[in-house]
Amino acid sequence: MKVLVIGSGGREHAICWRLARSPSVKQLYCAPGNPGTAALATNVPIGVDNQQELVAFARKETIDLTVVGPEAPLCTGIQRRFAEAGLLLFGPSLEAARLEGSKVFSKQFMREHDIPTAAFDVFDDAAAALAYIADHDRARVVKADGLAAGKGVFVASSEDEAREAVRALLTERTMGDAGRRILVEERLQGEEVSVIAIADGERVLTLASSQDHKPVFDGDKGPNTGGMGAYSPAPVLDDALQARVKQEVLLPTVAGMAAAGHPFRGVLYAGLMIVDGDPYVLEYNCRFGDPEAQPLMARFDDDLVPYLVGAAQGRLPQRAPKWDLRAALCVVMTAGGYPGGYARGEPIDGIDKAQAFDDVLLFQAGTATRDDGQLVTSGGRVLGVTALGTDLQQAQRRAYQAVDCISWKGVHFRRDIGHRGLGPA
């Protein structure tokens, strides 16, 4: 089988790493890929937004399965273009991907289908949004409607912070068209967890639990990012709660999309807040999380291909996949200044030493290789250092041992990834 992975981040490196271990994959491509995927697949110099060339390449090379990593191609209709060319693609349709592409659509969908979520209202006028915040003392979360690379959500600790977020989005237009409409919603207090499943339009296969860390600084301080680290499993999501999430969130979501004539086939990701033991949906994603994919792919101990093909064809395998019983933890190392402005082209040292540790995987994201072979930074999130351990504490210790071997000018990372799962020191 020939497989094409679309994307260039740590998520796509992790997916390639897992697919390269499938006995059914004979040729693996990644477009455009990164220096890390180049060691596992043939990198193809086609950007994720160039759907015409991606389809042409897949047809020319008779690709059997295409796996889309990032959300943007899915939210702009890549699945339809591949289907029209007679090509199999793992990922939801344009209409189904609206669950991620429009936060307004997703919240209204949740309301319509009685899926638990925070109270909210929708605005395109700053004055109206500010008045709503003044009248609702728990309205402290402000979200841009459209895609914003994980940076369009503002969780305010005060009314003034919430008002500033409204002004930034609706008056200053800091997120452009993505912030043309906004959500203002109640700030829920609890513990966040990611539930990621594979759906075939009717049935749902829930993957192992995981937990992301969005804020840029230790102690969950500072602005939100695309993700500073993740681990799996997440103790907050026990078997009973996971069963509730499937029955109260995932299956109603899939049934609602099917009833609307848009069967959801692909990754269905529910970002949840657990409040007093009850799950509430914060957001949907329509692809593997990044960095949640890194620990999940490290723990996935089975052939991934039948699950991706089965979902894309509407026929998920009946059996659940096997999982490594060990814990996995990923620490994201970023360029200094991220999620704001940052430098590129900084030489990265210590990769070989870090890779020498047992049960450590280095998933590259914002990296590039200079003509002299030196690996350098080329993005905000640069590396996802992932380790396996008999328990979360050992996985954390191994990951940070490897992290401490790696350096570049301005490098930044959190020192407390996994703190919720480990509990008080």
Q: Quick: pLDDT tens for 326-358.
A: 999 999 999 999 999 999 999 999 999 999 999
Mean of the pLDDT values across residues 143-170?
90
Q: Residue 152 has what pLDDT? A: 86
Mean of the pLDDT values across residues 235-255?
95
- Domains of the chain, CATH where assigned: 2-91 (3.40.50.20), 120-186 (3.30.1490.20), 189-313 (3.30.470.20), 327-422 (3.90.600.10)
3-state SS of 239-285 is HHHHHHHHHHHHHHHHHHHHHCCCCCEEEEEEEEEEECCEEEEEEEE
Asked if residue 26 has pLDDT above 70, the reply is yes
Q: Quick: pLDDT tens for 297-325.
A: 999 999 999 999 999 999 999 999 999 99
How many CB atoms neighbour CB 202 within 10 A? Answer: 15
- In the chain, the percentage of residues whose pLDDT exceeds 70 is 99
Q: Quick: pLDDT tens for 38-58.
A: 999 999 999 999 999 999 999
Q: Residue 423 has what pLDDT? A: 72
Q: Residue 424 has what pLDDT? A: 56
Asked if residue 425 has pLDDT above 70, the reply is no
Mean of the pLDDT values across residues 224-239?
93
Q: Quick: pLDDT tens for 381-420.
A: 999 999 999 999 999 999 999 999 999 999 999 999 999 8
The SS3 of residue 232 is strand
